[in-house]
Structure 1
């Protein structure tokens, strides 16, 4: 070689290491993806806190309110005095049915028969109790009497009378407090209203 490119004995050409273009392309792609995800996440957060990408109009508000269901009317449940309760003891503890009947009488219920449980239930009720009555009692007497004894099992039979049997089980210790029973009854008769528009 000649001229200015001539190699003399005291100078050597400097060779650069080959560039690794693969790492450069990978780093650029990763940064573009990260920026895209960050931007998309930011837009999602903005939509969450602003309620979407368009402001709600008054027409939208009216549509939502008109399609809302009316509040459920209060249930017409019988008063405790209108419910005749037969109290039966299915436990080995003596006198339990009489004590329970006296307490229910104080709370306004009409008491029918009091005694030991029939053979089908005697010493066979593992929970706090069983409410037994006609199918019509499911939406009438059962909810009212059920406020007095939490965890009672509801069962129907073929009777045609309106009375209800309360069969006390081995886990029965006491009725609900009068206040909690009254609160539960209020919640049944006056369900919470639908949200206003």
Structure 2
């Protein structure tokens, strides 16, 4: 009986050790597979992101700060009624400029001109402004959700809004900063004093020379 009991005990130990070895091997394989899967997963994400353009401030266009020193001399959002705006349709959608112009007028902007832009293939809604109406341009910009700002060589205080195909609607009124509120400079913007006017795009309202 003692011999039978010893053999049975030895068999149990053998089976136990064999199970431990099997489970250890499986665990090691799973760990290796997990590491490989993580590597493939993150490597794939890295590759896919490398080929996708990342969102850029002002959609890649140079952005001029609202002021040189936002602490000592901050620029402020203007009262809408003090901002003169031209609205131009840069798309093939009929009546879009008038619709946007009416919407801006409902917000008390001084809309002086509504018409068509020279191109009907504008993708991104663009706000054109000059050195003399930076705060006015930012005021218009705060009312749009999908626009970029472009400073050109204009000398007057008129802000031109060229509607592009990405336009959907104005920003919700409750999200628009109140007039008199300080405009915060956006990181990476160019101080107005550093802008070389001669290197800016020409005023598209002026005839080509």
With normalisation by structure 1, the TM-score equals 0.52
Deviation at 1:177, TM superposition (A): 1.2
For 1:114-153, what per-residue CA distance to the aligned partner results, in whole angstroms no more than 9, with x for missing partners? 0001x2xx133212x1000212323x11111111112311
Native 8 Å contact 1:90 1:167 kept in 2: yes
User: C-alpha separation between the residues in 2 aligned to 1:77 and 1:153?
Assistant: 17
Q: Which moved more, 1:165-174 or 1:154-163?
A: 154-163
Pairwise mapping of residues 70-109 of structure 1 onto structure 2 (< 5 A)? 72=71, 75-109=75-109
Deviation at 1:188, TM superposition (A): 4.7
Match of 2:130 in 1: 134
Deviation at 1:190, TM superposition (A): 7.7
Deviation at 1:83, TM superposition (A): 0.5
Q: Higher RCO, 1 or 2 (CA under 8 Å, sep at least 6)?
A: 2
Match of 2:172 in 1: 177
Deviation at 1:186, TM superposition (A): 6.6
User: C-alpha separation between the residues in 2 aligned to 1:130 and 1:76?
Assistant: 21
Calculate the aligned-residue CA RMSD, in Å.
Answer: 2.3
**Which consecutive unaligned segments of at least 5 residues does structure 2 have?**
1-69, 185-209
Deviation at 1:187, TM superposition (A): 9.7
Secondary structure of the 2:133 match is helix
Match of 2:62 in 1: none
Query: 1:158–1:180: structure 2 CA closer, same or farther, 3 Å change rule?
Result: same
Deviating runs (4+, > 6 A) in structure 1? none
Secondary structure of the 1:135 match is coil
Match of 1:124 in 2: 121
Native 8 Å contact 1:147 1:185 kept in 2: no
Q: Which moved more, 1:96-105 or 1:76-85?
A: 76-85
Over alpha carbons, which structure has the higher Rg?
A: 1
Deviation at 1:88, TM superposition (A): 0.2
Match of 2:159 in 1: 164
**Which consecutive unaligned segments of at least 5 residues does structure 1 have?**
1-70, 192-197
With normalisation by structure 2, the TM-score equals 0.49
Native 8 Å contact 2:76 2:179 kept in 1: no
Native 8 Å contact 1:101 1:114 kept in 2: yes
Matched, 1:189 2:186: no
User: C-alpha separation between the residues in 1 aligned to 2:183 and 2:154?
Assistant: 30
Match of 1:67 in 2: none
Q: How many residues of Structure 1 are paired with residues of Structure 2 in the alignment?
A: 114
